[in-house]
Amino acid sequence: MALAKISLQNFRNHAASELDETAHFNLLVGENGAGKTNVLEAISLLSPGRGLRRANLADFAQKEAADAPQSAFAIGASLIEQGQTSARIGTYTQIERPTRRLVRINGADAKSSSLSEWHAVAWLTPSMDGLFTDSAGARRRFVDRMALAIEPGHARSVNQMETALRERNRLLEERGDARWLDAIEAQAAQHGSMVAQARATLVARLSDELSALPAEPFARPILTYRPGGPVTPEELLAEFARNRPRDRAAGRALTGPHRDELEVVMAQKDRAPGPLAASCSTGEQKAMLIAITLGHGVLASSGRPSVLLLDEVAAHLDPVRRTALFDRLRAGKAQIWMTGTELAPFADIQEEAAIWRVSDGALERL
């Protein structure tokens, strides 16, 4: 088990909600718009980044009226390892600083990136169903989120790479000092190489995990990491220097890890590569996305507490696939949080799950 004593204060439609006595399986049941996904979003914010909706801070805190001043929110939870509380973590804003997200760990101020050092959080939401037909940038963010759950320092590398590339773009546009450009490109190459290698390692490990899964009842995806340029820092630095005129004209770097792509195809019954995931049916795409999520869950749950958030996942699966999903989740180490509009799809796990009914931002333990 990973999280217990979860509290939400003034978050979305939850004025003051608490979830205690959590279990391996945790179910949030209620009508659409009741606030189920808001609970998952709050849990997702106990990790670095903008959460499962990628929302702005201003969207989280409740307001008494549309023209009221910005208010503040708070989310907290206890981390449980082997039945003992290992840490109390939280994230919040302050009324006087509503646009700055703050983090505390064991009562001390901390950086949001440090949250990933304590536990791993991953999620699957309906909005991700279009991942394979979405932009390459969306798939890069997907890979980075998975990599972060395994390598806590990955977010820092991504941020430093993106910062250096933005500064390089500015210097190229303004024809800034060549020595400063050299230094910025060295930073972009160093951090970019770390990002590319972390992504490649993640995809390789995940591919190994997926290869061990049976093809049924979920489709087996075959993953390929396509780097957007050289991977070593030396080659990447040379590429940046060589392409300054081209990149100045384009207004951005045209090669580098910020152009990486994740290619996904569906394996055939003989395990040979089949069609691109983008051209598969909606059901096949959903099955492959679930398979990737399950495989990643195995990797993320080795060595530290981990949490897997599954929003409305059971309602879109037939009984055979639901049973298979629950069996795999039951065998894993990650703590599971799921949402649904009714209990019927969760009949196989009701006896072992902690269940809350959600209604207008209020929780009732069942």
Name all domains of the chain by residue range, CATH numbers in brackets: 1-119+304-366 (3.40.50.300)
In three-state secondary structure terms, 133 is: helix
Q: What is the pTM of this model?
A: 0.89
CA 64 to chain centre: 31
Question: What phi and psi values does residue 146 have, to the nearest 5 degrees?
Answer: -65, -40
pLDDT per residue as tens, the chain (366 positions):
689 999 999 999 999 999 999 999 999 999 999 999 999 999 999 999 899 999 998 889 876 555 556 689 999 999 988 778 889 999 999 988 888 999 999 999 999 988 988 988 999 999 999 999 999 999 999 999 999 888 888 989 999 999 999 999 999 999 989 999 999 999 999 999 999 999 999 999 999 999 877 667 778 899 999 999 999 999 999 999 999 999 999 999 999 999 999 999 998 876 778 899 999 998 889 889 999 998 898 888 776 789 999 999 987 788 888 998 999 899 888 999 999 999 999 999 999 999 999 999 999 999
What is the rounded distance in angstroms from the CA atom of residue 227 to the CA atom of residue 142?
Answer: 15
Of the candidates 130, 140, 127, 135, which has an alpha carbon nearest to the alpha carbon of residue 285? 130
